[in-house]
């Protein structure tokens, strides 16, 4: 959402909607802060990176599960916003398979609206979040699996 879009939302009373959308990210920041202050990880350590990625992956899984739980009850615009947030988080944390599948789901939603195919995307995205392998071959494998599921 652009800065001007943010201001319009707040000015028109959409502040509660915006807060609901960013609340999971705020929880993630709070968890990281608590872990740092409790000494669970030290700056620059491998444990810190691993713990942080576990929190990011957990947040993504929560977001995917929330969409799946609301499947069929979400308005298309809200569904697109939630998928876009997943795509953005995946891009920031270099979870390329998740980013690409979220992007493909966004395109499918733009073409066809939402339907049963959303759950197939979410199911594979959930698997991709848990995958620790990296590289273009991993993204290609997940996109191929999605293509097979969609019958393309």
Query: Is the pLDDT at 50 greater than 90, yes or no?
Result: no
CB pairs under 8 A, 24+ apart, for 135-141?
A: 136/96, 138/96, 138/97, 139/96, 139/97, 139/100, 141/97
pLDDT (0 to 100) of residue 69:
92
pLDDT (0 to 100) of residue 133:
85
**pTM confidence score:** 0.66
Which band of pLDDT confidence, cut at 50, 70 and 90, is reported for residue 119?
confident
Query: Is the pLDDT at 6 greater than 50, yes or no?
Result: no
Percent of the chain at pLDDT > 90 equals 34
């Amino acid at each position: 959402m652009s800065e001007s879009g943010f201001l319009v939302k707040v000015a028109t009373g959409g502040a509660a909607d915006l807060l609901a959308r960013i609340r999971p990210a705020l929880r993630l920041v709070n968890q990281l802060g608590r872990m740092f202050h409790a000494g669970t990880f030290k700056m620059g350590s491998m444990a810190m990176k691993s713990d942080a990625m576990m929190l990011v992956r957990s947040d993504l899984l929560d977001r995917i599960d929330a969409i799946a739980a609301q499947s069929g009850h979400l308005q298309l615009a809200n569904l697109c916003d939630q998928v876009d947030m997943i795509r953005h988080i995946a891009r920031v944390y270099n979870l390329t398979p998740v980013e690409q599948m979220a992007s493909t789901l966004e395109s499918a939603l733009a073409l066809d609206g939402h339907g049963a195919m959303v759950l197939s995307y979410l199911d594979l995205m959930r698997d991709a979040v848990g995958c620790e392998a990296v590289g273009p071959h991993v993204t290609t494998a997940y996109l191929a699996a999605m293509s097979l599921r969609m019958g393309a």
